[in-house]
Amino acid sequence: MELSTKLEVLAEFLSCANVTFWHFDKEMSLLSTNTESDNLFQALFAISDNKQTLHQYSLENQMPGFCSDAAALLWLVCPRHVNGVLADVYVIGPVFGSETSEQSLIQSLQALNIPPEWSYRTGTLLRMVPVVPHTLLIQYGLMLHLCLTGDKLEPADFQVISPGHPAPHHPTAKKQVHFRSGTYALEEQIFRAVEEGNINHTYPAEIYSRETGSLASVNPLRHAKNELVVCLTLITRAAIRGGLSEDTAYALSDWYIQMGEASESVAEVYQYTREAFQDFTRRVHKCKQNQGRSKEILECTGYLELHLDRQVTLDELARALGYNKNYLSTKFRREVGMPASEYILRRKIEQACLWLLHTDKPVQAISDELGFNSPSYFSAQFRKITGQTPTDYRNRTT
C-alpha cells in the first residue's frame, strides 16, 4: 500500500476520534490536516510555542516523541528522515490527557499568557480538544511510525520532549524530599524493581491504601499528587542507576509530574503513578538488553521486533541475516541467556500484556496479530509466562 494511502486511512481514523493530524514539511509549513478548524488550531500551536519545540526535536531525532505545554495539552510528533535529513514532520494533537473542567480551561488560558483579544477564541478552541489518555496517544503514534517506516516500536521507545530541549533536570529529584509516607520496605521494593529493569514485577497494591499524615484525609487529591512526586523521585534515581540516561529520566519525571498536577481525580493520579513505574522499568529493561550485545545479536533482536506478528524460526532468522544457524543459535543463547525461540515467545507475551492493559482488543484478535496458531495456544503460552490467563491479566489490571 502506498504511504499516502496509509496516511489517508490513519488521518480518517483519527478524525473519527476527533483527534487532529498534521503533515508539515521540513520547515514546518503545513501541507495537510484532517481538521476544518486548522486556522484556530495553528493559532493554539503558535501560542503554546510547541511548533518550534517539535521542529527542533525533529531536526535532531528520528524516533517519535511527545510533550506537554503550559496548558497541559499533549502533542505527539513523528519525524520522517530521508538519508539522515529531515523530510517531513507529522504531528498528532493537541489532546488533553484527562477530563478538563471549566476551571482548568480558565487556568489553561492563564498559563498560555494569551492576549485578551484572543481569550474567547482560544477558550472555544480548548473546548474542542478531545480527551485521550497518553497511553492511547502513544498507540496512535505507534501506528503512525509503522506507516512511515514499517518499523514496530514499543511505548518505551518514545522520547519525552521538554521545552528548551535538551531537558533540564527536575529540581525535585535533586534535593532531599521531606514528604515521606509508607514503609521503607515498599519503597525499597519499587526501587529495586526499576533499577533491575524487572518488567515482571507488579507495582505494590499497598501503595494505594496508604493514608499516612493528616493531608490524606483533609485533601486526598493533593496527597495523591505528593505521592506521585515522591514515587517519581524514587524511581528516577533508580532508573539512572539502572542505566537510563539522566536526560531521559528527568524529562520523563517532569512529564509525569505535569500530567499528575493537571489531574482532577485521585484514581487518575494513582494510574499515572503505576504507569510511570511500568514506563521507567521497561526503559531500564531495554537499556540492559542492549548492553554488551554483539552486532549479530542486535540484528537478530531488531529483526524479531519487526516480525512479532508471525512465527519466526531460527532457520528464517539465520537465512534472513546471512548467518550460520548453529553459530547464531549458540551466540544468541550465550548473549541473551535463552534460546531464540523463548526470546520470541516472551516478546510476544510482553506485547500482548501492553495491548491487554491499554487497548480493548479482544483476546482472539491479539492472538491473531501476534501469529499464534489459536487463541487456546496463545492463552496457554501466556499463562506459562505470566502465571495468569489473558482475561485474568486484563481484569486484574483494570
Please state whether the peptide bond connecting residue 79 to the residue before it is cis, i.e. omega within 30 degrees of 0: no
User: Phi, psi (5° rounding) for residue 299?
Assistant: -65, -40
Q: How many alpha carbons lie under 13 Å from residue 82 in its C-beta half-sphere?
A: 6
Question: Rounded CA gap, 353 and 119, in Å?
Answer: 43
pLDDT value of position 138: 83
Secondary structure of residue 22 in the 3-state scheme: strand
Q: Assign residue 202 a region (left: φ > 0; alpha: ψ between -120 and 50; beta: otherwise).
A: beta
User: Phi, psi (5° rounding) for residue 128?
Assistant: -85, -15
Q: Give me the percent of the chain exceeding a pLDDT of 90.
A: 15
* Maximum pairwise Cα distance, the chain: 71
What is the residue extent of each domain of the chain? 3-160, 171-289, 292-397
Question: Rounded CA gap, 89 and 118, in Å?
Answer: 27
Task: Name the residue among 119, 247, 88, 364 with its Cα closest to residue 355.
Answer: 364
**Per-residue pLDDT reduced to its tens digit, 79-93:** 999 888 999 999 998
Question: Rounded CA gap, 168 and 100, in Å?
Answer: 27
Locate 340 and state its grid cell.
531464540
Instruction: Name which CATH class applies to 292-397.
Output: mainly alpha
Measured in whole angstroms, the distance separating CA 339 from the mean position of its chain's CA atoms is: 29
The answer to whether residue 376 scores a pLDDT higher than 90 is yes
Lowest-pLDDT choice from 133-147, 277-291, 311-325, 357-371: 277-291
pLDDT value of position 242: 84
Lowest-pLDDT choice from 174-188, 349-363, 367-381: 174-188
**Per-residue pLDDT reduced to its tens digit, 213-272:** 444 455 777 778 877 887 888 788 888 888 887 777 887 888 888 888 888 888 788 888
Fold of 3-160: Beta-Lactamase (3.30.450)
Q: In 10 A of CB 246, how many CB atoms? A: 13
Locate 48 and state its grid cell.
503554546
> Taking the alpha carbons of 377, 378, 379, 385 in that order, is the dihedral positive or negative?
positive
pLDDT value of position 232: 86
Hey, what amino acid is at 242?
Answer: G
Q: Work out the average pLDDT over 349-355.
A: 84
Q: Which residues pair with 210 in a beta bridge?
A: none
Q: Give me the percent of the chain exceeding a pLDDT of 70.
A: 74
Higher pLDDT, 31 or 70: 31
Paired sense of beta strands 73-82 and 159-160, if any: unpaired
Helix (H) or strand (E) holding 128: helix 119-128
Residue given cell 516480525 in the structure block: 307
Higher pLDDT, 397 or 258: 258
Question: Rounded CA gap, 208 and 216, in Å?
Answer: 11
Range ranked top by mean pLDDT from 18-32, 62-76, 118-132: 18-32
Question: Rounded CA gap, 355 and 394, in Å?
Answer: 9
